[in-house]
Structure 1
Amino acid sequence: MLILSFAFCSAQELTDKFKHKATYEMTWQIDSTDTESVQSETMIFFSGGGQSTFSSEGQHIGDSIQKAYKKLERTPQSFSEMRSKIPKTEFNYYITKDLASREVSYREEIVRDYYEYTEDFSNIDWRILPETKQIAGFAVQKAKTSYAGRHYTAWFTTEIPISDGPYKFNGLPGLIVRIADEKKFYVFELTGFKVLKDPVFDTQANEEYLETDKSSFLEIKEDYNANPIGAMEQTGISFQFEPGQKEKLEKERRARLKKENNPIELE
């Protein structure tokens, strides 16, 4: 049963601006049976005032561009220009964390709606180990945890005293420099960290979200993935297909879904 409630949500009630930016290279294997299906993408993490946000760099840049163009006169030319500047990304979600309330929120746009569900931090339980080494110029220490059906090894540094990290991972005595599941299907590696000269606000503040729970969100997303054309048509988006084109696209989509069998969360 779907659980949805419409609410105007500020993505974060920021008491401070984001003062730190970390860049991670995310590497993942799309098809668990095909080692040639590995891809990578740059992800970014902003932190400040006990809060953080994590997304793909492409998603962050794309949203920033769209917000800038909203202030301009809307014409077919300006829309085409805007679309040409938006980078491609495989991930259109935002993950925000509030260390004070110990909550992590996941937000993603599906067709024209933004959905949000919230979890608490208690589902990530770390075991800190004595092993240490150097990664990316930082002294790091080893830790292990299990989350959503996968077992992870992380390396964190107390040289950056931010109890946070990429994706939903957090709660160690320093920033996570590297984290990977035991099969190396998902790997996040820190490639840059800096204190921002000009602190920034969350780009997702003041968006409207449909609040739901995790299981309901996954059901909505599964329905969309199974029939994206139908889902878009239900919102009023119309398409002009040549004879047989729609059937061809749907067949290609089903074949692609069979290969996309390795989500980061298994449960």
Structure 2
Amino acid sequence: MKIKLFILILTLSVFVFPKAQTHRFIYDVPYKKDSTSTILTKENYILDIGPTETKYYTYDFFIADSLISNNIPFPKEMKLNTSDIIVHKNNSNAFSQYDLLENTVLNLQTTDIQNWKLSNENKRVKELNLQKATTTWGGRNWTAWFTMDIPFQEGPYKFHGLPGLIVEIFDDKNNYHFQLAKSENKKALVENQFIEMAIEMSVPITLEKYKTTKLKYYESPINFIKNGIGETNSDQFFLNDGTFVNCKNSREINEQLKNIIKKYNNPIELDKAIVYPK
């Protein structure tokens, strides 16, 4: 499969960390929100590798940070409650997964290891030498192409542990496809107010409690959000995507949210998918 690599002019000096530096890699991610559909949604995700910590998040969070800094309201098309923020220490198997449920942020600690099988298959794309690897993880079979030309044992989402950066990775059912599109070298540590705010307000939670909370959210998204806001008597509020909720439309929006949650239940880690009531 052809990989779109727009900016990959990297030299060895790029990979030497001075004090306070971030290497940013941006991925194109076409994926299926609904596994029963052929429709693909395409988003861009950012992988920021710092001296000690790596963060993975949707490009919308980068935009959100700019909006917060300039006191500008979020545009209606931004769905900030649909994506996770993934954080982990470099060369570690411990991950912090921050799941945004409107005004509530769940902090799930996980340990994730992929048992990679290296292949002798190689190819050269643009300036990069790529090697193939495969693994079964998260309930899916994955094929990855990594490069030792970029000596970071990291990749998009929670994928890591190969002897070089993961440039491309996809599952055998074509539900998810991560492709490196761009690289940037930041001379200072990257700070994101939106992400830091989400982490600060997050609630630590176990996997069992996580599933219970997601089911509770599904039962009545509107009530869950109102409780998270702390104004259970308020009949008027905004969702993160700009939707205005009031007493006249709350029931309709509640059903819409439930249908969306149930329909778009195709997570990367399929073995952790929530089983919602029929």
- Aligned Cα root-mean-square deviation (Å): 2.6
Deviation (angstroms), 1:119? 1.8
Per-residue deviation, 1:48: 1.9
Q: Is 1:118 aligned with 2:109?
A: yes
What corresponds to 1:223 in structure 2? 216
Q: Tell me the percent identity.
A: 28
User: How has the CA–CA distance of structure 1 residues 266 and 191 changed in structure 2, closer, same or farther, with 3 Å as cutoff?
Assistant: same
Q: Equivalent residue for 2:62?
A: 60
Q: 2:17 aligned with 1:27, yes or no?
A: no
Q: Is the 8 A contact 1:56 1:91 kept in 2?
A: no
Of residues 147, 154, 158 in structure 2, which corresponds to 1:168?
Answer: 158
What SS does the aligned partner of 2:144 have? strand
* Aligned counterpart, 1:192: 182
Structure 2 match to 1:12 = none
Partner of 1:145: 135
Q: How does 1:42-81 map to 2 (within 5 A)?
A: 42-66=44-68, 68=69, 81=72
CA–CA separation in structure 2 for the residues paired with 1:242 and 1:100? 50
Q: 1:239 aligns with which of 227, 231, 235?
A: 235
- How far 1:18 moved relative to its partner? 4.2
**Which residue in 2 is equivalent to 1:212?**
205
Q: Give the corresponding residue for 1:262.
A: 266
Relative to structure 1, is the Cα distance of residues 223 and 65 closer, same or farther in structure 2, using a 3 angstrom cutoff?
A: same
CA contact (8 A) 2:21 2:187 kept: no
How far did 1:161 drift?
Answer: 0.3
The verdict on how the C-alpha distance between 1:91 and 1:112 changes in structure 2, with shifts beyond 3 A counting, is: closer
Q: CA deviation at 1:89?
A: 4.7
Residues 105 and 201, structure 2, Cα contact 8 Å, conserved in 1: yes
CA gap of 1:101–1:259, structure 2 versus 1, over 3 A, is: closer
Q: Which of 235, 249, 258 is matched with 2:253 structurally?
A: 249
Whole-angstrom CA distance in 2 between matches of 1:28 and 1:105: 22
Look up the SS of the partner of 2:202 in the other structure.
Answer: strand
Aligned residues: 239
Question: Which residue among 80, 84, 93 is the counterpart of 1:102?
Answer: 93
Task: Tell me, yes or no, if the aligned pair for 2:67 and 2:74 is still in contact at 8 Å.
Answer: no
Relative contact order higher in (CA < 8 Å, ≥ 6 apart): 1
CA distance in 2, matches of 1:56, 1:111: 15
Q: CA deviation at 1:190?
A: 0.3
Residues 165, 175 of structure 1: 8 Å contact kept: yes
**Higher mean Cα deviation, 199-208 or 128-137?**
199-208
Return 101-110 or 172-181, whichever deviates more: 101-110
- TM-score, structure 2 normalization: 0.76
Q: CA 1:115/1:257 → structure 2, altered by over 3 Å: closer, same or farther?
A: closer
Structure 1 stretches of 4+ with a deviation exceeding 4 A read: 84-90
Q: Distance in 2 between matches of 1:224 and 1:134?
A: 46
Counterpart Cα distance in 2 of 1:242 and 1:90? 22
Q: What amino acid sits opposite 1:214 in the alignment?
A: L
Could you list the runs of 5+ residues in structure 2 that have no partner in the other structure?
1-17, 237-245, 272-278
In terms of fraction of residues, the more strand-rich structure is 1
User: 1:38–1:145: structure 2 CA closer, same or farther, 3 Å change rule?
Assistant: same
Partner of 2:15 in structure 1?
Answer: none
Identify if the C-alpha distance between structure 1 residues 182 and 256 changes in structure 2 by more than 3 Å, giving closer, same or farther.
Answer: same
Mapped contact 1:106–1:116 kept (Cα < 8 A)? yes
TM-score by length of 1: 0.79
Offset from partner CA, 1:58-102 (integer Å, 9 cap, x none): 023213532x25xxxxxxxx5xx3334994456432101213543
Residue 252 of structure 1 aligns to a residue whose secondary structure is helix
SS in 2 for 1:83: coil
Aligned 8 A contact 1:135 1:177 in 2: no
| Structure 1: gaps spanning 5 or more residues | 1-14, 70-77
